Amino acid sequence: MSKKINVGILFGGKSVEHEISVQSSKNVYDAINKDKYNVIMIGISKDGRWLLNPLITKEGCVTGNNPLALIPGTEGSQLIDIEGKNEIGKLDVIFPILHGPYGEDGTIQGLLKILNIPFVGPSVLGSAVGMDKEVMKRLLKDSQIPSAKYLVMNKYIDDVPNPTYEEAKDTLGIPFFIKPANLGSSVGISKIHSKDEFEGAIAEAFRFDLKLIIETNIVGKEIECSVLGNEKPMVSLPGEVKSNHEFYSYEAKYLDEHGAVLEIPAKLNDNIVREIQKLAVKSFKALYCEGLTRVDFFVTEQDQVLVNEVNTIPGFTKISMYPKLWEASGISYTELIDKLIQYAIERYKKEAQLETSI
């Protein structure tokens, strides 16, 4: 019998999406093939402490008294139990399930590269540009991938004036959205119908980021599509999100059990499905993604397909769209986890070969 692969599931984190990460990690742990993988749960508390097999509070947050350290090495990193001064062993791969800043934005990916550990999902560049909606939109535009019209607002850049309500209304129409540029799960997003809502929504979004996106409202279907792989990615059937709220807000996603209905696969004609799948792969490559990404779309009433954004560490509960789309496309949840881990190891080996050839 071959030796089990040591997989560290890294979850929690310092972002406002901490509790969502905890939910996703539990589902991955429950579904992973434990005959093949030795699973090590590594939680990051909201104040940034790394903990071995942490406890979860009733509010869904990481806590505990078993701090960890990771010691870099040329053959991978050693996991150290600081409290017991014990060397636990080498991690063969890490599955980061850290949504939002300090987890999905390239920061943890850079740390894992320094630690010389393979990890699931895009590397530093793909993670960074996938998180920053403004940079992402510029790269999509350069690749001639259609997306919604937008404006940018920066808190501390004085040489370019920020758009006023009137400028946003004239450019984008009413209603429009205000979003933090570097956040997910619809945190800090407001839909603006009048001037009275504008300043309050700006202040709310600036609580989470120093850069905002002001984006036109698209009337149509909200479609999501999953991409899997490295150089030759696979693409799933698309699914539709039907929100029962005014838009697919944080409350609709996570707090209201009837907040949205997922229609998998989406009821679209074959030509639209092919266009979505083609643009999903094109976006994956244009944004330097690897391993996995969920690409979100709008399909307008005129059947125009627009890329909304990408999510490089999408929700990973059993009912999340990313794994559900693959299940509908013939890949089970457990098989999906296995493929993602294998893609991470495959990429790491190729990068190691490049380093040794220099």
Euclidean distance between CA atoms 331 and 31, whole angstroms: 13
Are 163 and 258 part of one and the same domain?
no
Q: Is residue 354 part of a domain?
A: no
20 within 8 A of 315, measured Cβ to Cβ? yes
The predicted model gives 301-308 an average pLDDT of: 95
Q: What is the pLDDT of residues 101-144, one digit of tens each?
A: 889 999 999 999 988 889 999 999 999 999 999 999 999 999 99
CATH number at residue 9: 3.40.50.20
Which contacts (CB < 8 Å, 24+ apart) does range 193-200 have?
A: 195/165, 198/165, 198/168
* Residues 134, 269 within the same domain: yes
Mean pLDDT of 216-231: 96
Q: How far apart are CA 358 and CA 282, in angstroms?
A: 31
Task: Look at residue 183 and tell me whether its pLDDT is greater than 90.
Answer: no
Q: Which domain holds residue 326?
A: 129-146+218-337
Note whether 178 and 268 are same-domain residues. no
Is the residue at 90 inside a domain?
yes
- If one counts the domains in the chain, the total is 3
CB-CB contact of 245 with 259 (8 Å): yes
Note whether residue 26 is domain-resident: yes
Looking up residue 292, the CATH number of its domain turns out to be 3.30.470.20
Q: What is the pTM of this model?
A: 0.89
Does residue 272 sit in the same domain as residue 222? Answer: yes
Section 337-347 average pLDDT = 97
Helices (H), 32-152: 107-114, 124-131, 133-142
Q: Is 357 inside a domain boundary?
A: no
Angle of CA points 184, 186, 191, to nearest 5°: 140
Give the H or E element holding residue 343.
helix 333-357
Say yes or no: 82 and 93 in one domain: yes
Sign of CA dihedral 93, 97, 98, 104: positive
Domain of residue 154, CATH code: 3.30.1490.20
Q: What mean pLDDT, rounded, does the chain reach?
A: 88
* pLDDT confidence bin for 185, thresholds 50/70/90: low
Say whether the peptide bond before residue 146 is cis (omega within 30 degrees of 0). Answer: no
342 within a domain of the structure (yes/no): no
